[in-house]
Amino acid sequence: MNTYNTIIDISLPIDENIILYPGNPPVTIETQKSATGQTYLSNLSLGTHTGTHIDAPRHVNESGIGVDKLDLSKLIGTCRVLDLTNSVESIKKEELVAKNIQEGERVLAKTSNSARGYKTAYDDYIYLSSQGASYLKEMRVSVFGIDYLSVKKRGSIDNTPHTELLDNGIPIIEGIDLSNVSEGEYYLVALPLRLVDLDGSPIRALLLK
């Protein structure tokens, strides 16, 4: 791909008011002037799973790779946004099968979460079902993204939606905003900071069209 007409920013703005998944550390920002008073610099504190971010295998497995070791080719390239706005409670395997997912595809799920937005946190977001995660693993997708801060059901002890993907080398993008994006093919750029051996990283996620 050499050309594009539009850049769609699907990342969330980060400031101290950003909504957080329960239990995540708060965002704090302190901006100071340098000793000479000529420049500004800020002390920023935030969790690795703040806002739009990527989960690396290390998120669920102590010996899994961190964000710095992810295969970047999975995070740059053609991708497909799937319209799953009719999914109720969770994204089911059959709904993914109906989208005719191809091996190695980069897949972003647009659910009804996108219409609810990120202004306030809520618990009954649409998540990825265990069977859906197993199917994505079978199809060996390159990356899976979802439009809420977690891929799994709130409070569930079943961590399969994470493990089926992450333990099989499939990174997960969480917290994307697809409210202005319709189903179709795009070019994805979604890169983590090069944080050594860390479980996750905020990303700037873009769709080029």
Cβ at position 29, least distance to Zn ion in Å: 21
Burial class (CB in 10 A: 0-12, 13-18, 19+), 55: buried
E strand map for 114-177: 127-128, 143-146, 172-174
Looking at the Cβ atoms of 55 and 105, the one nearer to Zn ion is 55
Q: Is 58 in the site for Zn ion (CB under 5 A)?
A: no
Stretch that binds Zn ion, among 10-18, 34-42, 177-185, 197-205 (CB under 5 A): 197-205
The Cα–Cα gap between 78 and 107 comes to 9
Q: Is 55 in the site for Zn ion (CB under 5 A)?
A: yes
Alpha-carbon torsion, ordered 68, 73, 78, 82, to 10 deg: -50
Cα within 13 Å of Cα(206), Cβ side? 11
Cβ at position 25, least distance to Zn ion in Å: 13
**Contact with Zn ion (CB under 5 A) among 11, 49, 67, 126:** 49
Q: Which of residues 145-174 bind Zn ion (CB under 5 A)?
A: 174
Q: Is 162 a catalytic residue?
A: no
Stretch that binds Zn ion, among 46-54, 77-85, 101-109, 112-120 (CB under 5 A): 46-54
Cβ at position 98, least distance to Zn ion in Å: 27
Looking at the Cβ atoms of 132 and 161, the one nearer to Zn ion is 161
Given the residues 49, 53, 59, 162, select the one marked as catalytic. 59
In the structure, how many helices (H) and strands (E) does the chain have? 4, 12
The Cα–Cα gap between 73 and 191 comes to 10
CB atoms within 10 A of CB 168: 15
Looking at the Cβ atoms of 94 and 197, the one nearer to Zn ion is 197
E strand map for 102-182: 106-110, 127-128, 143-146, 172-174
In the bound complex, which residue of the shown chain has the CB atom lying closest to Zn ion? 49
Cβ at position 199, least distance to Zn ion in Å: 8
User: What backbone torsions phi and psi does residue 205 show, to the nearest 5 degrees?
Assistant: -105, 125
Q: How many residues bind Zn ion (CB under 5 A)?
A: 4
Contacts with Zn ion, residue ranges (CB under 5 A): 49, 55, 174, 200
Q: So which residues are the catalytic ones?
A: 59
